[in-house]
Amino acid sequence: MRFSLYLLGLIPGNMRFSLYLVSRYLELKYKMTDLPRELLSLKLPHKLRPGTDLMSKQILLNPTVIDIVVETTFGSEGKCNYSPWPTEWPNRTISDILYLPISQQNGSFPPILVEIQHTVDNDFILRLMSYAISLYRQYNKIPIVLTFVISSMKYEVSKKTVQNKDHPFLRQYSCQPWAKMCYFVTGSSIETSLASPLSPFVALSTFFISQHPSLLVNPFRNDPTIQFLYSIAARVFQEQMDESTKPTEDLLLVCENTENVLTNAISALSEEVPDVEKCKKILDDGKLLPAALKRKYESISLEAPNTSTSSSSSTNANADTITNANTSTNTNINTNINTSTSTSTSSNTSNNTNTSTISNWDHLEHYLSNLNNNTPISWERVYEDGRELGFFKNYTKWTTMKSSYYRWKKNKK
């Protein structure tokens, strides 16, 4: 990759701009023809998961991603005006990613240096300073520096950062005179910005920092920027992830996905007032991966020669007959044994849940009725007072309790 960036640096500015436009056209064309099955069944190897060195650099070379970074760190006027350049410096050090203006007419645009770092400490800050100084000596421009912190930022560094006023998901580090601005983005800095729909930069940041190996296990899998980033990964590393050679990994992925879906669905139904819509969405999403893999192996099956023989078919049929007979017998026995116990347990659970629900909401409505009509409801206070009296034990947050109460009132009408 460094060699290709070196060659790019030898190309005249106007020709680089033409290549940039062509790459953007191809990127848009790819997005339009992207196959959902490839994304749904995608699971990146551990060494190529988001936030690792090779994966992150490939993502950051994408023209659309360049625009996301440039717009956030510099401004919208920089969009479509930057391209990647080589990052090996005369002192033999190598930084991760460098964006420079495409045209000399944009001489006032600063270089943008981007780093992906597992842990940030004072040693890394010194290395960052050396990169910026090397860049200044080579291009006579002071850069903007951005670092995606994948794991942690040591207190020795974090205590010297402040929240950026325009972009609260960025931490700003005092960097004069070696950089115009020095930004860090961490898991904690983006935490308050993780509300759907995600801004493109926050989506890029959580893609790197959360390091989810597949789209389906990413909690923001419906976000278009997240989907786009996984589509880049699928395209760039297609050779390393030959679909036809990993049926075992596909099986494990289905098992993991099924376990997660069922756990989340049970959790949604275990609330005092079950959130049916949430459960339905969880189960609908859970169907995506099996459907994608079904289409995948159906296509492989159609391409593979039919090598089955009549004798093997006969043997399989006999085995199926025996298995079905045993299964039927076991099912009848288990059904007879468990029927009365299941009925009794279900009845007791239902009675306990209904009693608890009525008790919670009776208390809550009595509490609310004693409030002045003009007094705003402090739901957190209502929750804490109720917990002290033995109510709302099934809720870990006041927001969940509030949502369940309103669903109960809606179902009660």
What are the pLDDT digits (tens) for 340-359? 444 444 444 444 444 455 58
pLDDT at 344: 44
Other Cβ atoms closer than 10 A to 11: 13
Please give the order of strands across the beta sheet that includes 161-163: 82-85, 97-101, 112-120, 144-153, 181-185, 171-173, 161-163
Q: What is the separation, in whole angstroms, between the first and last Cα of the chain?
A: 64
User: At 9, phi and psi to the nearest 5?
Assistant: -70, -20
Helices 63-73 and 53-60 cross at an angle (nearest 10°) of 80
User: At 100, phi and psi to the nearest 5?
Assistant: -125, 155
Q: How far apart are CA 377 and CA 406, in angstroms?
A: 14
Gyration radius (Cα) of the chain, Å: 28
Q: What is the DSSP letter of 241?
A: G
- What band does 407 get if pLDDT is binned at 50, 70 and 90? confident
Q: Can you say whether the dihedral through the CA atoms of 210, 214, 217, 223 is positive or negative?
A: positive
User: Lowest-confidence range among 32-46, 316-330, 348-362?
Assistant: 316-330
pLDDT of 14 above 70: no
User: At 201, phi and psi to the nearest 5?
Assistant: -70, -40
**What is the average pLDDT across 244-271?**
72
Contact partners, residue 34, CB within 8 Å, separation at least 6: 231
Is the entire prediction scored with pTM above 0.85? Answer: no
pLDDT of 59 above 80: yes
pLDDT of 136 above 50: yes
pLDDT at 171: 97
pLDDT at 18: 47
Residues making up the chain, counted from first to last: 413
Secondary structure (DSSP) of 301-318:
HHHS-----HHHHHHHHH
For all residues of the chain together, what is the average pLDDT?
A: 77
Write out the two tokens for 315: 């043997």
Element spanning 410, H or E: helix 398-412
Closest to 217 in 3D by CA, of 31, 38, 43: 43
